[in-house]
Structure 1
């Protein structure tokens, strides 16, 4: 069974809005590129899918946009190529190497986890909360930015039950960011 990992940037005060942290630097982009390359597929909600697609989909010209630094291209290539599953009740179709998931979320994700492979990756805010409530997340990976945002959506706000975690990995970055990875101490689903 392949594990499902929730990975996201988060500020010290728990804000997980994509604009609240520090702009990506070379070190964090290398880290996220390696993580993306380890994923068999991404599981994304509609909002995250559309946001990531607008930023990281290879343009029809095949040329990456001018705003993208050279060190961001490996991440763009990795996310552009990886298989994606999009959970949405409002979209009727998806592309960008993606498949639409509708209906019973728990059942659909259990089926994806049963397929062979190294792992699934989920990002965003709303979908991970639903998956955590269902007990389907096997690892939580946070890149904690040395920033206090003071506002914005917070990590797993509204979680129905407390989830106890054990630290399984930690990595310090020169920027002061810290990547931490946790596993639930007991599985509820």
Structure 2
């Protein structure tokens, strides 16, 4: 069974809005590129899918946009062709090498996990909360930014059961951010 990995940037106070942390730098982009490359497929909710598609889809011209720095290109080249699954009740037509994941969320994701491969990657806020509540996330990767945002959506807000996690890896970045990888050990009753 391939593992489902949830990975996200988060501030010290738990904010997980994509603009709340540090601006990406070369070191963090190398890290996120490696995370994407560890996955056989990406799993997104509608909001994350649309945000990532608008930023990282190769333009029809075949040339990456001028705003993209040279060290961001490997990330774009990793995410653009990746297989994607999108969970949405409002989208009916998707593209960017993606297909809608329909029906019961738990059963659909369980089927994906049972396929052979190295792993699945999920990002975003709302979908990971639903998957965590279903006990389907095997690994959590938090890149903790040395910033207190003071507002914004918080990490896994509304989780029904506490999660018991085991730290399995840690990496310090020159920026002061710290990547922490945890393995899920089970739900803990409150």
User: What is the distance in 1 between the residues matched to 2:160 and 2:183?
Assistant: 18
Q: Secondary structure at the match of 2:91?
A: coil
Q: Which residue of 2 aligns with 1:103?
A: 103
Distance in 2 (CA, whole Å) between partners of 1:24 and 1:55 is 13
> Normalized against structure 2, the TM-score is what?
0.97
The 4+ residue runs of structure 1 with deviation greater than 3 A are none
Task: Give RMSD over aligned pairs.
Answer: 1.0
Which residue in 2 is equivalent to 1:24? 24
Q: Shift of the alpha carbon at 1:187?
A: 6.6
* Pairwise CA distance, 1:184: 1.5
Cα displacement string for residues 86-129 of structure 1 (whole angstroms, at most 9, x for unaligned residues):
00011002110001012200000000000000000000000000
Q: How does 1:72-83 map to 2 (within 5 A)?
A: 72-83=72-83
Matches within 5 A, 1:1-189: 1-186=1-186
Report the CA distance between 1:38 and its aligned residue. 1.1
CA distance in 1: counterparts of 2:127 and 2:176, whole angstroms: 28
The alignment of Structure 1 onto Structure 2 pairs a total of residues equal to 188
Task: Give, in whole Å, the separation in 2 of the partners of 1:156 and 1:176.
Answer: 23
- Cα deviation, 1:148-182, whole Å, max 9, x if unaligned, reads 10000000000001111110000000000000001
Deviation at 1:47, TM superposition (A): 0.3
Contact 2:164–2:187 under 8 Å retained in 1: no
How far does residue 186 in structure 1 lie from its aligned partner after superposition? 2.6
Unpaired runs of at least 5, structure 1: none
1:81 shift after superposition: 1.1
The residue matched to 1:167 in structure 2 has which SS? strand
CA distance in 2, matches of 1:187, 1:23: 33
Distance (whole Å) between structure 2 residues aligned to residue 112 and residue 93 of structure 1: 21
Give the Cα–Cα distance (whole angstroms) in 2 for the partners of residues 143 and 178 of structure 1: 6
CA distance in structure 2 between the aligned counterparts of 1:186 and 1:125, rounded to whole angstroms = 20
Query: For 2:157, what is the secondary structure of its paired residue?
Result: coil
SS at match of 1:68: coil
